[in-house]
Chains A and B, each alone.
Chain A
Amino acid sequence: MTILTLAKALNEGMRKAMEDDSKVLVMGEDVGKLGGVFRVTDGLQKDFGEQRVIDTPLAESGIIGTAIGLALRGYRPVCEIQFDGFVFPAADQIITQLAKMPLRSLGKLRLPVVVRIPCGGGIGAVEHHSESPEAYFTHTAGLRVVACSNPVDGYAMIQQAIRCEDPVVFFEPKRRYWEKAEVDVDSSDWTPFDEAKVVRQGTDATLLAYGPMVKTCLEAAKASEDDGRSLEVVDLRSLNPLDVSKVTESVRRTGRCIVVHEAPVYNGFGAEIAARVTEECFYNLQSPVLRVGGPSTPYPPSRLEDHYLPDLDRVLHAVDRAFAF
């Protein structure tokens, strides 16, 4: 067991993937000498060279577009988009090409490209550095969309994403980069990365979260003990596909379901979950599925972000509403 931060766990995961397969490349802005603005790729260029760890020009569409070309030549590029709000220049390549080219080829072409995106708020950043754009990508067929929430999953999931034959959009909760945990770096006995995990068992309500909000939900579940409430927390991990059976199995037991994400509630990923849970668990529900998320506004200036981001109290408030229904 090794104690790793999430950033270091991702780094070690990429390093392992690069050692295992010489076709794995890392590319993006500042990923080489600097090691990425969050140091997630720290040391990789030094050890694997400039041919495999590529500092690219500052153009996100170019990063994804050339990664597609490299994948067509048999490489497995791992692209870093420096910040969530900078992914949009690449959205065209991701949506019209990366997601659709395998289908366009009737399965003859594979694009094992990973698009890593540090996401979410909570670090006091300027505009475009705190967003949660996952719903745009979950709405695009052909992409797998996952979000890690902790070092153990980060180490495993980045390697699973790199090995996956489909393109994967990989969200990393940037404010959790410095969270630590014990990681067994020698094991590869991992839960499939499109499966959800019950990270805390409970009987009275299910909290569904992913990425940065998993920790918040675990804290909320702990705090709820004082009120005599037993909350189950499910880390969804994969948003496309969604592990529907694990979600519905939990909600059928607890009878209450609250989805928590940083992204705006309106048309957010929680809407999909609410619809599915309602459809599949209708007779088990004791209250409507509730959603906790950011207001349906642009992400605010950082002096307001504590009000914007769902926190312990916002989650507990929703729990109260679910129990009061």
Chain B
Amino acid sequence: MTADASRGAEAPPELIQLLTPEGERVEHPDYDIDLTPEEVRGLYRDLTLVRRVDLEAVALQRQGELGLWASLLGQEAAQIGSGRALTEADMAFPTYREHGVAWCRGVDPVNLLGLFRGVNHGGWDPAEHNFHLYTIVIGSQTLHAVGYAMGIQRDGAEAASIVYFGDGATSQGDVNEAFIWASVFNAPVVFFCQNNQWAISEPLEKQTRIPLYRRASGFGFPGVRVDGNDVFACLAVTRKALAEARSGQGPMLIEAFTYRMGAHTTSDDPTRYRVAAELEGWKLKDPIERVRAYMFKNQIADQDFFDAIDAEADELGRDVRKRCLALPDPEPLAIFDHVYVEPHSLMDAERAEFATYLEGFEA
């Protein structure tokens, strides 16, 4: 059974938007943003390049070079907008779909592909990028982000953490515990929920009867819904939330209202559970097209700029593909590496046994 979320009693959800799907700048009383043409061009470049990497990754999976890929198609603005709001000192905790945020944090896309190719479970240094490893268990990372924020508090540092999760994750106990912890300890953490409308095959109605951002009030901190396909609004809202968190005003929930234009992962088949017309409707709200329209209208970029970005994107795609295919398989004995930091007799014994076993084939 599903229920009408509002029962007709509550006010309709408000959506913070600064750039319409048609590329018109609109004002919002609480949020504004003043971007230089250079910054706008930078955002457009980010959006385009991460979409291109994503496209290449899907192709690599289809060609059998990746075991799986979780596409970010449609969520570029939510990820680039929030990702570009972070300062160097802020720490981001992703799910497994935050390829756009990873890009903003300077993580080499090939490292993301390596995980899905199966050469490791996470090949980048979280401390180097202040971008944590991908977390596959749904919602677990929200607690890590809150704990990290409690550490920031204890250090007296000028920083915040931000944690990414989806609409499905809001049903997890860990996410609700994270809300409680963050609230009780007034932790400097921003909860960034990308509501992409679908948790694999389950629509939002299976997770909630109220708009997700309104959950925050029950936990004692503010929540807002932002147009997740509007990179300007995502940047403005996240920037403000992070600034408030850093200055001791506590946590905030941002619901980025967006749409997963692709499948959940390459193993999924959305035609079994959603109609094509829904996707067509969301294509009109595409996060990149509206920026392009805005730039054209305001003469922020000309055709040469767009051509150059497209060429850069194609080159990036080729480069990522080439380096992905060149990733070496790990050595068999790497199975035993890094399970423990300190010497561990069982690991030592099993590694030696396995090495002897493998040597038996070489004779």
A interface residue numbers (CB < 8 A to B): 51, 56-57, 59, 61-62, 64-75, 89, 92-93, 96-97, 100-110, 141-142, 144, 164-166, 194, 240-244
Contact = CB atoms under 8 A, between A and B. Distances in A.
B354 to A, nearest CB: 14
Contact of B346 (A57, A66, A104, A242): A242
Contacts of A71: 147
A69 B146 contact: yes
Nearest to B189: A69
Contacts of A104: 121-122, 133
Contact of B155 (A64, A73, A144, A243): A73
A257 to B, nearest CB: 19
Contact of B178 (A62, A97, A142): A62
Nearest to A71: B147
Contacts of B342: 164-166
Given A73-B147, A96-B137, A61 B338 contact: no
Contacts of A109: 126-127, 133
Nearest to B146: A66
14 contacts: A57-B181, A57-B184, A61-B173, A62-B180, A66-B150, A69-B145, A70-B147, A72-B144, A73-B155, A93-B140, A96-B137, A97-B144, A102-B341, A164-B342
A72 B151 contact: yes
Given A68-B147, A141-B339, A61 B174 contact: yes
Interface string B116-155: 0000111101110000110101001011111111111011
B139 to A, nearest CB: 9
In order of increasing CB-CB distance, the 6 nearest A-B pairs are A69-B147, A65-B143, A73-B151, A66-B147, A62-B177, A69-B148
From B146, B152, B154, B180, name the one whose CB has the most chain A CB atoms within 10 angstroms: B154
Contacts of B361: none
A144 B123 CA distance: 24
Given A59-B181, A144-B344, 19 more contacts: A61-B173, A65-B178, A66-B147, A69-B149, A69-B151, A69-B161, A93-B143, A102-B338, A103-B121, A103-B339, A104-B122, A105-B338, A108-B125, A109-B126, A110-B341, A142-B339, A142-B340, A144-B340, A165-B342
A241 B344 CA distance: 6
B63 interface: no
Contacts of B125: 105, 108
Chain B interface: which size bin?
35 or more
Interface of B: 120-123, 125-127, 132-133, 135, 137, 140, 142-152, 154-155, 161, 173-174, 177-178, 180-181, 184, 337-342, 344-347, 349
Contact of A166 (B137, B161, B340): B340
B346 A240 contact: yes
Contact of B143 (A68, A101, A141): A68
Nearest to B152: A73
B346 to A, nearest CB: 4
Contacts of B180: 57, 59, 62
Given A65-B140, A72-B132, A243 B147 contact: no
A107 B337 contact: yes
A105 B126 contact: yes
Given A103-B338, A242-B346, A73 B177 contact: no
A59 B146 CA distance: 14
A109 B137 CA distance: 18
Contacts of A110: 341
B250 to A, nearest CB: 15
Contacts of B347: 241
Contacts of B338: 102-103, 105-107
B160 to A, nearest CB: 12
Contacts of A51: 154
A96 B147 contact: no
A105 B174 CA distance: 22
Contacts of A142: 339-340
Nearest to B334: A106
